[in-house]
Chain A
Amino acid sequence: MSNIVGIEYNRVTNTTSTDFPGFQKDESAAWDVEDFKKSFDVKITSLDEREANFDLMRIDTSIANAFRRIMISEVPSVAAEYVYFFNNTSVIQDEVLAHRIGLTPLKVDPDMLSWIDPSLPEAEKFTDENTIVLSLNVKCTRNPDAPKNCTDPKILYHNAHIYARDLKFEPQGKQTNTFAKNPVVPADPDILLAKLRPGQEISLRAHCVLGVGSDHAKFSPVSTASYRLMPHINITQPITGESAKKLVGMFSPGVIDIDGNGAAYVKDARHDTVSREVLRHEEFEDKIKLGRVRDHFIFNVESTGAMTPEEIFFKSVRILKNKAEYLKNCPISQ
């Protein structure tokens, strides 16, 4: 069977892989490490602090999907979990502000913290090993230097807008040393947390702990981690002239080009969004076939800022490995 997922006008065909033992009588299709080592390939397209785009080729869907799932929900990260209010005279309610602080991504290496033992009593739960303390102490005052007739609250008042950058890290115990080089700061300092008016103030402390995305979305280290399959375009009959020009417009720019003979050819299928526009037009019927390569995953990982995307991916690999190991050592598997 081919490894091309068929993109038809109103359905998707051939979505599941069949290369597993026992599917075909004359082919063993057993998984082999050596074969996998030979065929598996990674290609990195782009990589920066926040976003990574890379290809995993010739890998089974289940594994690729497992990476995606783990990155979203099981790679631990740090977020504010307990917010203690001392004073809040702003219009925003305590719960809402706490929720917003919780969702603020923090630049903390999760490896620096250990897990909280939920069985401990409240007083002993938080130590300098598992908790990071942030505080927010702001008060809005009038700006005496504001020009007359000014209506912009940001100029009229000091601290009218409270941003994520106003969260101050309070190192506890040995954290003064351990976090000396990279103190805890919000990954995006410009997230608006609250708006104040003169006389209003907020004073709070947030305890940030380790957690996973399946518990709450704020612990997810990625904004999104997902993949798409490599588009595959097959021109079965030559398309030339006007229809070739028309065909170019039906794909994302740069996907289809016209060669010297005026015939359309697939230049770079990777950039296609697979909008299936070409399937709407009768003139291209049977002349072009759309598909996607089933075992070619174009991953896109967007980090929230705590870790680099490659770190997140590696962690997902490690977690999957641990899971496999655990399963291997499980009494059931023996």
Chain B
Amino acid sequence: MSTAGVMRPQATVEKDSSFEPLLKPIYKGKKLTDEINTAEDKWNLLPAFLKVKGLVKQHLDSFNYFVDTDLKKIIKANELILSDVDPEFYLKYVDIRVGYKSSSSSKDYIVPPHECRLRDMTYSAPVYVDIEYTRGRNIIMHRDVEIGRMPIMLRSNKCILNGASEAQMAKINECPLDPGGYFIVNGTEKVILVQEQLSKNRIIVEADEKKAIVQASVTSSTHERKSKTYVITKNEKIYLKHNSIAEEVPIVLVLKACGVVSDLEIMQLVCGNDSSYQDIFAINFEEVAKMKIYTQQQALEYIGSKVKTIRRQKLTTLQEGIEAIATTVIAHLTVEALDFREKALYIAVMTRRVVMAIQNPKMVDDRDYVGNKRLELAGQLMSLLFEDLFKKFNNDFKANIDKVLKKPNRAMEYDALLSINVHSNNITSGLNRAISTGNWSLKRFKMERAGVTHVLSRLSYISALGMMTRISSQFEKSRKVSGPRALQPSQFGMLCTSDTPEGEACGLVKNLALMTHITTDDEEEPIKKLCYLLGVEDISVVDSDSLHLNYCVYLNGTIVGVIRFATKFVSHFRSLRRSGKISDFISIYTNLHQKAVHIATDGGRVCRPLIIVTGGESRVKSEHLQQLLNGGLQFDDFLKLGLVEYLDVNEENDSFIALYEKNIEPRTTHLEIEPFTVLGAVAGLIPYPHHNQSPRNTYQCAMGKQAIGAIAYNQFKRIDTLLYLMIYPQQPMVKTKTIELIDYDKIPAGQNATVAVMSYSGYDIEDALVLNKSSIDRGFGRCETRRKLTTVLKRYPNHTQDMVGGMRVDENGDPIWQHRALGPDGLGEVGMKVESGQIYVNKSVPTNASDSVLTQTQAQYRETPVVYRAPEPSHIDQVMMSVSENDQALIKVLLRQNRRPELGDKFSSRHGQKGVCGIIVNHEDLPFNDQGIVPDIIMNPHGFPSRMTVGKMMELLSGKAGVLNGTLEYGTCFGGSKLEDMTDILIKNGFNYSGKDMLYSGITGECLQAYIFFGPIYYQKLKHMVLDKMHARARGPRAVLTRQPTEGRSRDGGLRLGEMERDCVIAYGASQLLLERLMISSDAFEVDVCNNCGLMGYSGWCTTCKSAEHIVKMTIPYAAKLLFQELLSMNIAPRLKLEDVFEQ
């Protein structure tokens, strides 16, 4: 077994060369021949892990599971379509495939993803089914019937990028470093965020100490329905509560309804022989005894009478009761042959948990504990959606068949295949619509969920990557509870401790850590059988008396049996998993408090790999790492060899994990692969994060996503709505291992700036930065914006269509100014500059588009050109003409702007220290050191004491040492280059050990009296630039209704003098200013007021008094006039009484 991995052909290893450097021992220049130190080199398992799994493995695994396994299950569950009319007729789905036909072994051609992006198409593959149906008397098999198209997740196993080499990717304009894991729907990239939920089909015990309520609840979820069952205390008695049962039912009654009629047995099931439990529970018998319910029939009838049902045909109360117990209560347990034993045990276990929590308030569960959470991924959501659509498809199909079959005398034998194609669009458009809008509406569960998908943010590579690892919680953002937002200790290694947004979503939106894996569903049945083989006694044969004497074994929350020697069972089970006999992702752990062994095979659990430790020794030895480095072993082989295993949160809590090899004790069960994996991909960019104040790391996580840099290798091929690119991005001088693993060094977003930490000029207060003009001249912080404008040339029903005209010329034959950027085809010419007011697509629309074809006259065209409006000119970068999926001509114009940093542009280091450019200083005025080096950026030292970003100082020192030494230094979390080594390098190169240099003032030429902390720090330019925000207005547009100036920069709006500003003006007594600001410069309006009736007239005439005698002209705000009129419309007459200001 162990040789399987070793013998793997070398070709696969060599194929993707992009990972090759990762597998080389880069760290500290170690060569293959060097001695392997397990303590230091075990981190190489991490790149090996990422090589196999990639950064978005959770999404890909989930989607692959959906298209390969789940689709088949859905088909199986809905395989038959029968006709109500013709009992002979049936149609059966035999098989389903995505992307390839059964006849051909190769995949179908699908339009490559980048073409889909450019042409606003959906990246999808056809879904084929094999069907078997009757036509008359014959049974017909039909293969490869297309029932719709399925959007394909990029890089999944159905994607054409799967397994493609870098050269192949380049050929189809795809970036080899792009993580994939998203969909392309109508040309936009959509991500289905990971959804965090409370685990399904598990008992959760909670207590409300104030109200003295203890409740155990379970959310049952099956393919058909979702329901929640509670076992709850009320007046110290225990009841069962369910939405479909009108009132709480005494628990003893429920158990009796389930066939446990004897009070003794009920007591045994719930309490065992624990007398304290018995004391608590005993009271419950009384109520049922008083009701005189002793038999199962009585109990069922009682329950039946309480059931809320909307049923067509009435059932007897007994039948209702049976129905309720069998299907609605704890719906995920299926009842066969009216044997309620299993359900009775489940309810008894729930009750027991409640009793335990009453007896000991600490025996409650924590909702926020990560082990009680499940992460729902793209595959699961797609599967829900697909099943819903498929059911609808089948229903429509059935209705269609019925309609045809109902006709008595058909000329031909009916072929069902003909009507299947009619509905094929439903599935395609349903999937597309859901992904593109993010509204997941499922009829079955009456579920309406909005905001499931998001547009993949392509602001920077990191922002795209950060989006792929994001987890959104189902919790309401407005609720003011701290529990779900707090950092849970169980998040260690699973969810990033730093990466969460600030503000309302703080702690609710989380990110996955670097080594996390999310499980997919595994088969339960074989595990159950395995348990019995390992000595578990089947629960159906265990007598109630001895139930709680031994350890109960739970499989996915359901009790399946008991075992006497739990430890032995668990260790046997684990060794089976380690030897690869069962899936790696099945977890098992013992809960000593509950005397239970839990086995979980369900999907959505977070887990991570750890090195197995046996006998106080790590199983991963130097020879294994040696083989890993020279490609003999891969990560999966480590799993197969039983050196490494995946632990989920629950099992992790049952283990004793050593952080470092030196910490291993005899009790240790596992060893951490690498401690820095507690952070995610985004937090991994920060050098020396373990020296920073923790909120600073969180701030950087938010800001790293706004940094301008390179986006992908195909960035110049992309036509996105808005793209920011840096002209000269650099990889950071101080890297981290994470940076190398996520290829940030290949697609960086920032530049290494020489920073002097000193105060200069006073334009650097409040975090403002002083920038060196020469550095800017030479390209520091330069960036480029690329903006897309899409125009569609429409076709109208009367055969007219939009057209693009040429350009107009003046008398000299030169194009007029507005058309200067146009070419003879009426489209902007690539490379031309367009200024505000100029046209870059000269489109015309037919004026008679609504006429019918018959009355058509000569087509008249009205010019509707696309005009460029922006304060700064742009250049035309690309013009694309194509045809979209619905055959309409599509024109995309990409406008580019080159920007150099200016006052007010925002910059930030990697330590949550942002600042705007406060002044740009000439080279000669800046301080210089002995070498004549001048800083690119001067940062005010006041930024340090309160922020406590020691990591930034260490970055500077390591960066400076790296520059002098010609090396890239590391600032990896919990590791990195040591400060002592760095200072030694500084000293060796004739610098002061502290990184502080003596500087000369550029202005006076004299030495500065203090030594200045001076060296390179990686700075990011953030997307907030003054050019996009600057705004001023003298005169401009007004709102239609109020005639007040419009609001906002985009509408050329005014700057509001708000209430508080108004208060100031009033307090100051500047009444004329008040009048000018609030009326004259806003919405002054001249009205004719009749001094007789006090109402407003017009044109010097009062319509109320029918006279012009008392009309007075006056100026009031238009808003006031509007108010008077609105009041009039409500039958309130506001009358103006006018008097002279100065009495005569």
Contact = CB atoms under 8 A, between A and B. Distances in A.
Contacts of B928: 226
Contacts of A226: 928, 931-932, 1000
B1011 A10 contact: yes
Contacts of B920: none
B777 A64 contact: no
A232 interface: no
B248 interface: no
Nearest to A222: B932
B487 interface: no
28 contacts: A10-B1011, A11-B1009, A12-B998, A15-B1009, A65-B1005, A69-B1002, A72-B923, A72-B924, A88-B831, A93-B784, A93-B898, A94-B831, A94-B875, A96-B784, A96-B898, A213-B774, A213-B923, A216-B777, A217-B774, A224-B933, A224-B934, A226-B928, A274-B930, A274-B998, A275-B986, A275-B992, A280-B993, A292-B1007
A94 to B, nearest CB: 6
Nearest to A96: B727
Interface in B966-1023: 986-987, 990-993, 998, 1000, 1002, 1004-1011
B923 to A, nearest CB: 5
Contacts of B898: 93, 95-96
Given A103-B778, A213-B923, A228-B930, A16 B991 contact: no
A73 B924 CA distance: 7
B1005 A61 contact: yes
Nearest to B928: A226
Interface residues of A, number: 48
Interface string B933-959: 110000000000000000000000000
A64 B1005 contact: yes
A57 to B, nearest CB: 15
A289 B68 CA distance: 78
Contacts of B784: 93, 96
A273 interface: yes
A16 B1006 contact: yes
B327 interface: no
Contacts of B875: 93-95
Contacts of B499: none
A280 B984 CA distance: 13
Interface in A179-197: none
A218 B777 contact: yes
A141 interface: no
Interface residues of B, number: 40
B987 A275 contact: yes
Nearest to B775: A217
A229 interface: yes
Nearest to A17: B1006
A153 B899 CA distance: 31
Given A91-B716, A277-B987, 13 more contacts: A12-B998, A12-B1007, A15-B1007, A61-B1004, A66-B1005, A93-B877, A96-B784, A213-B924, A214-B924, A216-B777, A217-B923, A277-B992, A277-B993
User: Top 6 closest A-B pairs, CB basis?
Assistant: A65-B1005, A226-B932, A273-B990, A217-B777, A217-B774, A95-B898
Contacts of B1004: 61-62, 65
Contacts of B1002: 65, 69
A138 interface: no
Most chain A beta carbons < 10 A, residue from B716, B773, B923: B923
Contacts of B877: 93
A220 B774 contact: yes
Interface of A: 5, 7, 10-13, 15-16, 61-62, 64-66, 68-69, 72-73, 85, 88, 91, 93-96, 99, 103, 213-214, 216-218, 220, 224-229, 252, 273-277, 280, 292, 300, 302
Contacts of A62: 1004-1005
Contact of B779 (A68, A99, A227): A99
B1008 A217 contact: no
Nearest to A226: B932
Nearest to A85: B831
Contacts of A68: 924, 1005
Contacts of B716: 91
Nearest to B786: A93
A11 B1008 CA distance: 9
A277 B996 CA distance: 12
B930 A13 contact: no
B864 interface: no
Contacts, number: 104
Contacts of B930: 228, 273-274
A268 to B, nearest CB: 14
Contacts of B577: none
Contacts of B931: 226
B295 interface: no
B831 A5 contact: no
A95 B784 CA distance: 10
B1010 A11 contact: yes
A182 B941 CA distance: 51
Nearest to A302: B932
A167 B934 CA distance: 31
Contacts of B773: 217
Contacts of A94: 831, 875
B922 interface: yes
Given A11-B1009, A93-B784, A73 B991 contact: no
Given A214-B922, A217-B777, A273 B991 contact: yes
Contacts of B1000: 226-228
B914 interface: no
B548 interface: no
Contacts of B470: none
Contacts of B896: 93
Interface string B590-621: 00000000000000000000000000000000
A299 B1005 CA distance: 12
Contacts of B1010: 10-12
Contacts of B777: 103, 216-218
A66 B924 CA distance: 10
A88 to B, nearest CB: 7
A318 B898 CA distance: 38
A274 B990 CA distance: 7
Contacts of A69: 924, 1002
Contacts of A217: 773-774, 777-778, 923
Interface in B374-428: none
Contacts of B991: 273, 275
A273 B60 CA distance: 57
A73 B1008 contact: no
A30 B724 CA distance: 59
A330 B782 CA distance: 42
A62 B1003 CA distance: 9
Give the residue among B986, B998, B1004, B1009 with the most A Cβ atoms within 10 A: B998
Interface in B1005-1047: 1005-1011
Interface in B881-902: 896, 898
B907 to A, nearest CB: 19
B932 A224 contact: yes
B778 A229 contact: no
Contacts of A228: 930, 1000
A217 B993 CA distance: 32
A252 B990 contact: yes
B3 to A, nearest CB: 34
A15 B1008 contact: yes
Contacts of B986: 275
A229 B928 CA distance: 12
B919 to A, nearest CB: 15
A297 to B, nearest CB: 9
Nearest to B727: A96
**Most-contacted residue by chain B among A218, A273, A300 (CB, 10 A):** A273
A213 B898 CA distance: 22
A168 to B, nearest CB: 22
Interface string B716-733: 100000000001000000
B1007 A229 contact: yes
